[in-house]
Amino acid sequence: MDSTPLRDAYRALIDAAATVAAAGTPPVPPPGEWNADQILAHVTLVTATTLAAVSTVASGANATYDNRSTHDTWTIERVIALAGDNAGLRNRLRLQADALCALTGPMLTEPELDTPVPTLLLSHATAVLDRPVPLRALLTGLAEAELPGHTKQLLALVG
């Protein structure tokens, strides 16, 4: 699998996060939305969940993908505290992206990419997907929807 679209999507998101950080005073999100650190923490959790699924498939074991913990407020705040600051979150995400792109590049075989992974995806506490999907679709969805969506969300914070 060509990991270039995934790598590009991560780069765009990290660049957007740096733009927000360079704006000075952290922008206040609209009511009910996340701030920049919360968005980055959420994406690090999504990436960790994806890394776990990819690693599990690559090991020959049965994988699942469940993003509920990536929306948990306590978990998001813990990731922020562990990273230390916005720069720490961006660095954590950069390293995770490198790891994920390395795993999804030439390492995975076509049968591994086609492996059905039981998946539960929530958005705003609503299940948007609850069925097995090929691992490839999880990676494509991350590159084409999840990461670009959060990139736009970050950029909207600075107008």
pLDDT at residue number 69: 95
| Amino acid found at 43 | V
Tens digits of per-residue pLDDT, 19-72? 999 998 888 898 989 999 999 999 999 999 999 999 999 999 999 999 999 999
Cα distance between residue 46 and residue 54, in whole Å: 12
Residue range 139-150, pLDDT digits in tens: 999 999 999 999
Query: Which residue did the predictor score with more confidence, 28 or 131?
Result: 131
Q: How sure is the predictor about 114, in pLDDT bands with cuts at 50, 70 and 90?
A: very high
Please state the pTM of the whole predicted model: 0.95
Q: Residue 124 pLDDT > 90, yes or no?
A: no
Per-domain residue ranges for the chain?
A: 4-156
pLDDT, one tens digit per residue, over 68-110 is 999 999 999 999 999 999 999 999 999 999 999 999 988 899 9
Q: Which residues pair with 129 in a beta bridge?
A: 121
CA of residue 55 relative to chain centroid, distance: 15
What would the mean pLDDT of 151-159 be, rounded to a whole number? 93
Backbone angles phi, psi at 52, to 5 degrees: -60, -45
Architecture of domain 4-156: Up-down Bundle (1.20)
Q: For position 25, what pLDDT does the model report?
A: 80
Q: What is the pLDDT of residue 102?
A: 94
